[in-house]
Structure 1
Amino acid sequence: MFHMAKLLNRRQIPGLFCFFLMCRLVVGAEFYARRMEIVKTIEGQVSVFRDSVSIIDGDTRITAGMARVNESGGVAVICDSVFIESPDALVWADSAFYRLEEKQTELFGNVKVEQESLVIFAPLLLYSIPEKRVDADSGVVVKSKTGNFRLHGGHGIYDLAGDVGIIDSNPVMVQIADADSVTVTGCEMSWFARESKAQAGGKVRVNSGSAGLLCDTLIFFTARDSGLAWGNPRVSDSVSQTQGDTVFFIVRDGNLDVATIQGNAISYYTTEGGDMIAVTGQAIRISMESGKVAIIEIQKLLSGRLIRPVSALE
C-alpha cells in the first residue's frame, strides 16, 4: 500500500529541487508530504508525514505541518497549523484528530470556522464533514463578519448547509453599536444566517441601559435592527412597566429606541410624587432615550386610573 511512498523516500533524485510523496489509504484519502517515514509501534504500523502535509479526501482538503496516520485504527493525528477547506466552510485549528472512515474531525486550540457571512470560534470543536455540521461543547462564539452582532454561550451546534445554529447553554446575543450595545439573554438561542435573524426562547431579557424587555420568545432581525416579542412581554425601567400580548421594538445606536405593545396593552407609571397611573389602550407606544423610558403614548385609550399609595391617603 505504501510502496510508492517508501521508494520515493529512500531514493535520491539528482537535480530535483523538491518533490512530494503520495500514498492512498484503503478508506480513500490521499496523503501528500515532502517527507515520510513508517514507524512500528505497539499500536501497529504508523505512517508519519512531515513538511507541507496535504490530505485530500473527496472534495475536502486538509493541510498541516505534520500528520501521524494509524490506518488500522482509522485515525490521523494532525498538528502544526491545521487548515481545512471544504465546500461548506474554511476551518483553522492548532491540532486535530481526523477519523478517516467517518470523515469526522476533532479540532483543538484556537478553532475558527468561517463562512461567507459569519465566523465561529471555540476552544474545541467537532466537525462532521458528511453531516455538514460543527458541534462545540463550551466557549462557542458566533460573530457576523460585519461586526454588528455576536452570539456566544456554552454548548452550540451549527448546520453549515442550512446556515442555522443553536446555542442551548447560557446563550447571550449582543447587538453592537459604536459606543453602546443591546444584550439579549435566554435559555436557548438560534441563529438563521440567511435571514440575518436570531430567535431566543425561555426567560428572554433584552437589556438596554436601565430599560429592559422581558418575554418568553423573541425574534430579532439584525439587518433591520428590529424584532418581535411575545409570551407575556413587558417593557420596564425604574418607574414604569408596560405589557401586552406582543411587542414590536426597534434598536438604534445600541439602545432600545421604540417599543409598540399591542393586544391587552396596559401601562403602569409612577409619578415624581409617588402616585401610580395605570392606563389601558388598543396599543401603547414607548419611546426611549439613552436606555430610559422617555414618552409613553396611548393609542385609542380604553381606560385610566390613578393609584395613590396608602401613606398618601392617611
Structure 2
Amino acid sequence: MIPFASHAQNLVEIQRAREVTNITQDGEPIRKMYDVRLRTGNIEMVSDSAWQFLNRNELRAYGNIEIETPDEIIWSDTLFYYTDQELSLLRGRVIIEQDSTTLFGEKVDYNFFTKVAFFEDGIRLEDEGGTLIASKGTYYQNQDSAIFRGNVQLADTAQYAEGDSLFINRKSEYLELYSNIFVADSSNNGLLTGDYLQADSTGRRYVDGNSYFRKISADTTDTTHINSDELLLIEHDSVDLVRSYGNVRVWSKDFSSISDTLLYDSSTEIFELISNPIAWHDNIQLNGPYISVQMDSNEVRQLQAYHNTITVQEDSATGRLHQIKGDTLIADFEEGDISRLKIYPNSQVLYHTTNEQGEPDGAVEYTSPQTVMYFRNGDLQRVVAGKNDGYFFEEFPELAERRLEGFTWDPELRPTRPDTTAVPRFPPVPIERPFTLPMRYLEYLQQDVPDN
C-alpha cells in the first residue's frame, strides 16, 4: 500500500510476511503475501493476506485487516486500494477510529489524503457525546463535519433526535436536521417536531415548517403545546425563550390562544401575543392587538390587553355573552377564577343580569372613563365605575343578541388539546454495534483495559 499523492509511487515495504509468492496471472505480475505486515509512507497495515498488482497500482487485502496512520486506525474484512485514484474500498466489518470518534459501516470508500469517508450501506458514529446512526453518510475528518441521509437518529443520555437527513459540525456543535424531525429532551421535558431544525452549542434551536413544541411542567401537572409556522427556542441556564411566528396556536389546561407572533420567557412566565391575537381562559375570550398573559405555576394570574380591546365572557348559567371593551384591560385571577377586571379609559360594558332563580332578567349597558369589576369564584360581586352614561334594559327576547361595536366571539377558533402525541418513527438506537466486532479490534480495545 502506498500513500496518496499526485506523484504516487508503487513503493511497498514488506516488514513481515510468512510467505511471499510472485506469480503471473492473465498476463500481469502479482505479488501474493500471507500473514503480512506492510508499510508505505506513514501507513502501516497487517492482514491475513495481500495481493499487490504491480502493473496497475492496486493492492488487495483480505482478512483481519488493521490499518494505522498518524490520524486514524481502521479495521476491515477486505480492502481494495487504488493508488492512482487515491481511493480505498473497505468492505465487510469496517471500523474507523479517529481521535475520540469511532465509525462503523459495512461498505466504506475512504481517501487517506482528503480524510473523507463515504458510508454507502449504513453508518454508526460513536463519541463521548452519544451515538448517531443513518442509512448512508459522509464523514469529513479535517472539517470534523458529516452529512447523513436516510433514517437519521441521534441519541445520548438526555436527548434523542431523528430526521431524514442531517448536516453536523461536531467541533462547533452546529447541526441542521431535515424533514420529519423529532427531538425529545428529557432534561427539560421538552419536545420539538417540524420540517427543518437548526441548532448550535449556545442552546439555540430554530424550527421551520409545521413547528410543534411541547413542554411538560417540572411537577408534570401541566403540558403546554405550541404550534406555528416557525419557532425559535433558546435554552440558557434552565431558562427557555420561545419565539413563534405564523399561525401560532397555544394550548394548556388553563390557557389557549392564537396569534401571528408569540414571545415567551420561562423566567417570568409571561406569554406575549402580537398581531391579531385571541386568548381564552375558561369561558372568557379576549381580543386585542397586543395581549400579555402572566402565568404562575401553570395557572393564569393576569391577562392584559392594550389598544381597543374587547373581552367576552359566556355566562355559565344563561349562556348569554357579557361584553367589556376599552383601551386597556387588566384581568386578575385567583386559583383559576377571575377576581378583578379593570378597563380604562373609555370603558364600555354590556352585562346581563339574572333573577333569584338564575334566569335572564335584563342587562346593564353603559360607558365610563374607568370600570373595575370584582368577582368571587368567577361570579360578579361588585362594580365600581366613574361617571357613566348608560341604561338598564328590561328583559326581552332579542336582548340575548345585543352586541357592542367590535364584538367578536369565536369558540370554533379556540385551540384544543392535540389528539395525538408526537412519537418517534424509528425504534430506539440499538446499544449493540451493527456487526460482530473483528478480532484485531477486540484486541485493540483490550489494550486500554487496565490490569487488575
Question: Smaller-chain TM-score range?
Answer: 0.7 to 0.9
The answer for the alignment partner of 1:144 in structure 2 is 185
- In the superposition, relative to structure 1, how do residues 251 and 120 fare at CA in structure 2: closer, same or farther (>3 Å)? farther
The answer for the alignment partner of 2:324 in structure 1 is 278
Q: How many residues were matched structurally?
A: 292
The answer for the alignment partner of 1:167 in structure 2 is 207
2:261 paired residue among 217, 225, 248: 217
Cα RMSD of the aligned pairs, angstroms, is: 4.0
Task: After superposition, give the CA deviation of every residue in 1:108-135 in whole Å (9 maximum; x if it has no partner).
Answer: 4351154x97543334322244664222
Task: After superposition, give the CA deviation of every residue in 1:140-192 in whole Å (9 maximum; x if it has no partner).
Answer: 1232232522121122222x233211111100111224355221111100111
SS in 1 for 2:273: strand
Task: After superposition, give the CA deviation of every residue in 1:213-241 in whole Å (9 maximum; x if it has no partner).
Answer: 12222223346654333333331268432
Decide whether the 8 Å contact of 1:190 with 1:198 is kept in 2: yes
Q: What is the correspondence of 1:128-277 to structure 2 with a 5 Å cutoff?
A: 128-129=169-170, 132-158=173-199, 160-177=200-217, 178=220, 180-194=222-236, 195-209=239-253, 211-222=255-266, 225-236=269-280, 239-244=283-288, 245-250=290-295, 252-253=297-298, 257-264=300-307, 265-271=309-315, 272=318, 274-277=320-323
SS in 1 for 2:47: helix
- In the superposition, relative to structure 1, how do residues 161 and 237 fare at CA in structure 2: closer, same or farther (>3 Å)? closer
- In the superposition, relative to structure 1, how do residues 229 and 284 fare at CA in structure 2: closer, same or farther (>3 Å)? same
Q: What is the correspondence of 1:102-113 to structure 2 with a 5 Å cutoff?
A: 103-109=145-151, 111-113=153-155
CA–CA distance in structure 1, aligned partners of residues 136 and 71 of structure 2: 16
The TM-score with structure 2 as length reference comes to 0.53
CA–CA distance in structure 1, aligned partners of residues 226 and 105 of structure 2: 41
Cα distance, 1:285 vs structure 2:
1.9
The answer for the alignment partner of 1:15 in structure 2 is none
Cα distance, 1:136 vs structure 2:
1.9
SS in 1 for 2:201: coil
CA–CA distance in structure 2, aligned partners of residues 142 and 224 of structure 1: 25
Cα distance, 1:200 vs structure 2:
0.8
Decide whether the 8 Å contact of 1:36 with 1:47 is kept in 2: no
The answer for the alignment partner of 2:118 in structure 1 is 76
For 2:132, the aligned partner's letter is W
Decide whether the 8 Å contact of 2:151 with 2:162 is kept in 1: no
Cα distance, 1:66 vs structure 2:
3.9
Larger Rg: 2
Q: Using the TM superposition, name which of 207-216 and 146-155 deviates more.
A: 207-216
CA–CA distance in structure 1, aligned partners of residues 79 and 246 of structure 2: 55
Q: Does 2:114 correspond to 1:61?
A: no
Q: Percent identity between the aligned chains? A: 12
